[in-house]
Amino acid sequence: MPTSRRIVIAVFPDVDLLDVTGPAEVFALANRETGGRAGYRVQLAGPARGEVVTAAGVRLVADLSFTEAAQAGGVLDTLLVPGAVDLGPQGPVARIDQSVVAWLKAIAPQARRVASVCVGAHLLAAAGLLDGKRATTHWSTAAQLAADHPAVTVDADPIFVRSGQVWTGAGISACMDLTLALVAEDLGEQVALAVARQLVMYLKRQGGQSQFSVPLSRPAASRRDIEELRTHIAEHLDGDLSAAALAGRMSLSERHFARVFRQETGSSPAGYVEAVRVEAARRLLENTDQPLERVAAASGFGSVETLHRAMRKQIDTTPAAYRRRFRTTT
């Protein structure tokens, strides 16, 4: 008899459609690829049985009410929580539905593992499920998550993060990567890769990969000169990008420059430059066969040793290991 794995996905008004259907499709394909051996059985749970209108306007049908899902008994393998957003003056704001939060508090202890997709991390945090844990969410609401929940270590860079039996995923299409990782945990890497091929996903990404480029993941600066400096940094990675050189370029004292740069970007000059250089190195490692010495030089690190240290610090891997995993050339 195949193993039975009950998956409950929360649905509620204005939930992001792909955050529900993407994982459901991955689980369904895992069943198909294993001839049913995976045993995934997906149920949608909502405030009440019946139709739920998503943010896309497409209607989903909840199989169970939240109350019924919590009282169903039996083994709950995976509880998956997507999210919903409202548009505020400064951009997207994760919506916190207290009825969903209350339900999560009741049902989460029954689950073998809990996972959030996109801004669903805010619901997990509101239920206290992320306290003391590292977590990610969509880059646009990461600052909100960190501000609202100081007990959570928010990392806005990875596409998904595992902290014990709690998983959090980044925005939108990253729900597929997160679910593939859940499948890999259950059934092995080969099954997950087979599902990825069926989905015509060019590469099944590991959680360490960045969900967004460094310049675009930082807020736009209100000062034009800082924006111009960011462009200069991106275009001159192999040049002198020390704080002293950048301050001199702006005709500011080094101390005043550092303060202004952090106010505008949320990062120190050195931290920002290192992140941009690591991103450039990652692109070269993914898309070229250049030796590490050339990758280090082109991305501004000067030596393989410096590149190694920076990648260890930024994404907890080595250049060689990253290339083996993510290289897209043949």
Q: Does domain 215-326 have CATH number 3.30.1360.80?
A: no
Question: Would you say 45 and 9 are in contact if contact means Cβ atoms under 8 Å apart?
Answer: yes
Paired strand residues for 113: 78
Considering the domain delimited by 5-198, tell me its CATH architecture. 3-Layer(aba) Sandwich (3.40)
pLDDT of residue 193: 81
pLDDT of residue 324: 78
Paired strand residues for 76: 111
pLDDT of residue 305: 95
- For the segment 283-292, the average pLDDT, to the nearest whole number, is 85
Beta strands in the chain (DSSP E): 5-10, 40-46, 50-53, 59-62, 64-65, 76-81, 85-88, 91-94, 111-116, 134-135, 153-154, 160-163, 166-169
pLDDT of residue 174: 85
Residue-by-residue DSSP string for 32-62: HHTTTTT-EEEEEEESSSEEEE-TTS-EEEE
Which DSSP helix (H) or strand (E) runs through 224? helix 224-235
- Among residues 15, 60, 84, 118, the one annotated as catalytic is 118
167 alpha-carbon distance from chain centroid? 10
- For the segment 300-322, the average pLDDT, to the nearest whole number, is 90
d(CA 243, CA 268): 9
For the stretch 55-62, contacts whose Cβ atoms lie closer than 8 Å and that sit 24 or more positions apart, written own/partner, are 55/14, 55/15, 55/16, 55/17, 55/84, 55/85, 56/16, 56/17, 58/17, 60/11, 60/15, 60/17, 60/20, 62/11
Q: Could you give phi then psi for residue 6, rounded to 5 degrees?
A: -85, 125
* pTM of structure: 0.67
d(CA 177, CA 286): 18
Q: Where are the chain's structural domains? A: 5-198, 215-326
- For the segment 37-53, the average pLDDT, to the nearest whole number, is 96
Nearest alpha-carbon partner for 143 in 168, 161, 122: 122
Which has more confidence, 124 or 213?
A: 124
Q: Is 118 an annotated catalytic residue?
A: yes
pLDDT of residue 148: 96
Question: Would you say 87 and 95 are in contact if contact means Cβ atoms under 8 Å apart?
Answer: no
pLDDT-based confidence at 265, cuts 50/70/90?
Answer: confident
Question: Would you say 86 and 92 are in contact if contact means Cβ atoms under 8 Å apart?
Answer: yes
62 alpha-carbon distance from chain centroid? 26
pLDDT of residue 210: 53
